[in-house]
Structure 1
């Protein structure tokens, strides 16, 4: 379904002040200097301090987005949290962000949407529906993830590439923007490719947590294989729904899952490198914050301008593939 007459009026992002260079990862793993960057294509990533909580980073990103949009917290009608991992199970991260923005007595709806790495796309689609139905006129959508707290350094393939950060957008009724198409597919037979077992009702401190269950476990080869199987057909369908040819897309904003996944997408989907936002080397995989951080970079660097068409696309644990065509 196409949603016309709604516009992303502001984007913002926040990166923790602490930068972890790949040479420091080499030292931690006992590898030769340069090995991490050579293996995984990552030069650095950001690591949140204890004070830089998910809600704190999200609020900073939200304020940056509101500054671009020319609005203030009191102008919001709804807040949608779209984190891959919540700050705490209850209440929602969106509620925590509402309070940080000084809206604790406002009563505006604030709740979370979770689709792991693709949470932002699902929340953005929900925001568009709320605006289309007249339930809101201005919606804040944010993603904020701290991957560093759940990494298993016995599995360097995952531990080396994940970074922390937050990003947000303001979506408003009116304007020349639109969501031209959106799709999301899940193939749960591969659900064990990316797992964080602890934190829910099945594996929790009250019942005891076995070693490794509180750390993120990933079979990168399996996740990549499954995603690669479905992504080309998925993209073809999405382009058809949007009535846009791949050569007409002005900017491609992929989930920064890995250096391999971004380069594979450019090569196999025949995407021009100058149109693809690739910032993986300096920020790593930020889970759900990955796509909106790359989107903010595209806007602020001038690579995505008003009236341009942007393809937001990626994969997530599940395994799911998702995408959205946006007229910015």
Structure 2
């Protein structure tokens, strides 16, 4: 059975934080732009959590699909910054929308949405569900140390959503490559707050995200290149057959380097990193929503997108819209 994307939606906080704003906190505005390609990002106010952004994106998505919440029979939320450790933030989204179907979170750092989408598509393809709401959302500004000038400027807050449904035989996943490498877990992680090392108010800095930027940079470029090649080989297609490529919006140098190694023409690569920064689980659905609204994705488009992040984890997917 084919699987189609019926609707898309996204939500970002109103507050725009520019590089110049961060310079007043001790960050180097020119360094941020030169090393990342980011000019601004959005930060959620104290009264807005991941679930709030997810709800807004989901509402927009359902409106775009013209599908009432009562028809949704599964809610999947990809996030690594839940409203609380339990219950799942997907339950908050479900209740707010008036949905009575099962709802659960999928956590794989910045790969969360891509893996949630793969999961949702398999539910539809096997006939287990007919309307699956897949959301990616993160409030990264709460888990990154403002005193870390190399990491804090990279991240922004956002949510994005898609609605899946049965489609024509030509629609859906053409090929994918997903995996994990736990040997690299400490290259990108949050040290405290779990059962291994619980919350300790005397060590607040230990609760923030930590990243070996140089190692992650090299790994990400290699992973994007290798998984893209694997997916194309599995599908029997080439990049000439692909209409648009959406890499996880982590760092423009990563995206440009991977695109250069793959010999991808710039017009096929969609970027919005400059305006939003790294929005983690929201990165891909936010980009898909903007690409659809800009007319760069239409029915029948072949779209390749790739998520990668902590775990280490990755998922590269080629689908026909």
Shorter-chain TM-score above 0.5: yes
For structure 1, which segment, 313-322 or 52-61, has the greater mean C-alpha deviation from structure 2 after superposition?
A: 313-322
C-alpha RMSD of the superposition? 1.6
Alpha-carbon distance in structure 2 between the residues aligned to 1:248 and 1:174: 21
For residue 22 of structure 1, report the CA deviation from its aligned partner: 0.9
User: Is the 8 Å Cα contact of residues 26 and 34 (structure 1) preserved in structure 2?
Assistant: no
What secondary structure is seen at the aligned counterpart in 1 of 2:249?
coil
User: 1:183 is matched with which residue: 177, 184, 195?
Assistant: 177
**Cα distance change, pair 120–169 in 1 and its aligned pair in 2 (3 A):** same
Q: Deviations over 1:117-175 (max 9, x none)?
A: 11111111111111122111000000110000111233222111100000000000124
Report the secondary structure of 1:117's partner residue.
coil
Cα deviation, residue 291, structure 1: 0.9
Q: Residue 79 of structure 1: SS of its match in structure 2?
A: strand
Task: Give how far 1:209 is off.
Answer: 5.8
Give me the whole-angstrom Cα distance separating, in 1, the residues matched to 2:27 and 2:228. Answer: 40
Question: Separation in 1 of the partners of 2:39 and 2:222?
Answer: 29
Give the Cα separation in 2 of the matches to 1:141 and 1:260: 29
Give 3-state SS (helix, strand or coil) of 2:255's partner: helix
- Confirm whether residue 51 of structure 1 aligns to residue 47 of structure 2: yes
Distance change (3 Å), C-alpha of 1:14 and 1:219: same
TM-score (normalised: structure 2): 0.95
Structure 2 residue aligned with 1:129: 122
Q: Report whether the alignment pairs 1:289 with 2:282.
A: yes
Distance in 1 between residues matched to 2:149 and 2:64, nearest whole Å = 38
Q: What is the CA–CA distance in structure 1 between the aligned matches of 2:306 and 2:135, rounded to whole Å?
A: 17
Residues 143, 166 of structure 1: 8 Å contact kept = yes
| 1:11-65 deviations in Å (ceiling 9; x for gaps) | 100010000011011111164x544323432110000012221111111101111
CA distance in 2, matches of 1:209, 1:119: 30
Please give the residue correspondences for 1:81-92 in structure 2 after superposition, counting only pairs within 5 Å.
81-92=77-88
1:230 and 1:275 map into 2 onto residues whose CA distance is: 19
| Cα separation, 2, equivalents of 1:101 and 1:325 | 30
Match of 1:310 in 2: 303
Give runs of aligned pairs for residues 192-231 of structure 1, distance below 5 A.
192-205=186-199, 210-231=203-224
2:6 aligned partner:
9
Tell me the distance in 2 between the aligned counterparts of 1:237 and 1:272.
19
Match of 2:66 in 1: 70
State the alpha-carbon separation in 2 of the partners of residues 36 and 233 from structure 1: 28
Q: Identify the match of residue 112 of structure 1 among 84, 100, 105.
A: 105
Contact 1:25 1:36 in 2 (8 A): no
More displaced, 222-231 or 154-163?
Answer: 222-231
Correspondence for 1:42:
38
Paired residues, what number? 320
Once residues 45 and 90 of structure 1 are traced to their aligned partners in structure 2, the CA distance between those partners, rounded to angstroms, is: 28
